[in-house]
């Protein structure tokens, strides 16, 4: 009967207060919420919003940002779609950065730098990934040419001794574009000039 009284005593005692909380969905909901928040940190406008609404003055929120640094571990980074969020998460650990993001000019600067990074990322990355071509071997210099014999200078010819032969001038290429006797092409530009002249004259 002693065992029966012991079971009655344990049923009346409250559960220990330091019991571990067990999520009903094994932490899936919390994981998704924290992932979404971390991904939102990739947007400088959102960080500016948090700074304007004084979230960064709350010590509990600062502690939450420190807690979120576990997203930088390799087993969690595979879920990150926007890698800039990890950079901004690291920068938000600095009080000066948090204060600076309250100013619209700094938000625009961060947004502009982020845009330029995205714009040039592929080209900059390819510069470092693609193998550089090996330098071409310098061809051996050809042997020096043998010294040439000095050619005596030709005496200048007087101008009166040069005879000019009269040749027929070469036909202009424009002569072939229009058969002889055809009317010249009327350009609308020329007709507009004439119209303007007439208006001014009249």
| Residues above pLDDT 90, as percent of the chain | 22
Q: Give residue 77's pLDDT.
A: 87
In terms of residues, how long is the chain?
202
Contact 51, 98 (CB under 8 A): yes
User: Which own/partner contact pairs does 174-183 have at CB distance under 8 Å and 24+ positions apart?
Assistant: none
The Cα 72–Cα 89 span in angstroms is: 9
- The answer to whether 52 touches 102, Cβ cutoff 8 Å, is yes
From residue 37, give the alpha-carbon distance in Å to each of 64, 68, 71, 118, 133.
11, 9, 11, 21, 44
The CA distance from 97 to 89, in Å, is: 11
Average confidence score pLDDT of the chain = 74
Distances (CA, A) of 12 to 1, 20, 21: 18, 21, 21
Q: Which domains does the chain have, with CATH numbers?
A: 23-129 (1.10.10.1340)
pTM, entire model: 0.49
Of 128, 45, 121, whose CA–CA distance to 83 is shortest?
121
Q: How confident is the model at residue 163 (pLDDT cuts 50, 70, 90)?
A: low
Write down the pLDDT at residue 36. Answer: 92
Indicate whether 23 pLDDT > 80: no
Band of pLDDT at residue 39, cut at 50, 70 and 90: very high
Look at residue 195 and tell me whether its pLDDT is greater than 90. no
Residue 136: pLDDT band with limits 50, 70, 90: confident
- The answer on pLDDT for 60 being more than 90 is yes
- In tens, the pLDDT along 7-20 reads 555 555 555 556 67
| pLDDT score recorded for residue 50 | 92
pLDDT in tens, 73-115: 989 888 988 888 999 999 999 999 999 999 999 889 888 888 8
**Higher model confidence: residue 107 or residue 140?**
107
């Amino acid at each position: 009967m002693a065992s029966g009284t012991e079971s009655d005593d344990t049923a009346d005692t409250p559960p220990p207060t330091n019991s571990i909380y067990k999520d009903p969905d094994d932490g899936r909901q919390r994981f998704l919420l924290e992932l979404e928040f971390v991904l939102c940190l990739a947007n400088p406008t959102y960080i500016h919003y948090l700074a304007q609404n004084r979230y960064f003055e709350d010590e509990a929120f600062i502690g939450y940002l420190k807690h979120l640094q576990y997203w930088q571990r390799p087993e969690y980074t595979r879920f990150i779609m926007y890698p800039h969020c990890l950079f901004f998460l690291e920068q938000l650990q600095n009080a000066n950065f948090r204060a600076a993001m309250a100013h619209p000019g700094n938000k625009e600067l961060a947004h502009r730098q982020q845009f330029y990074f995205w714009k040039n990322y592929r080209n900059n990355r390819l510069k470092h990934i693609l193998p550089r071509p090996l330098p071409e071997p310098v061809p051996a210099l050809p042997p020096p040419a043998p010294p040439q014999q000095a050619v005596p200078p030709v005496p200048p010819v007087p101008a009166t001794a040069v005879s000019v032969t009269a040749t027929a001038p070469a036909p202009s290429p424009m002569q072939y574009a229009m058969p002889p006797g055809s009317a010249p092409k009327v350009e609308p530009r020329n007709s507009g000039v004439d119209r303007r002249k007439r208006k001014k004259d009249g």
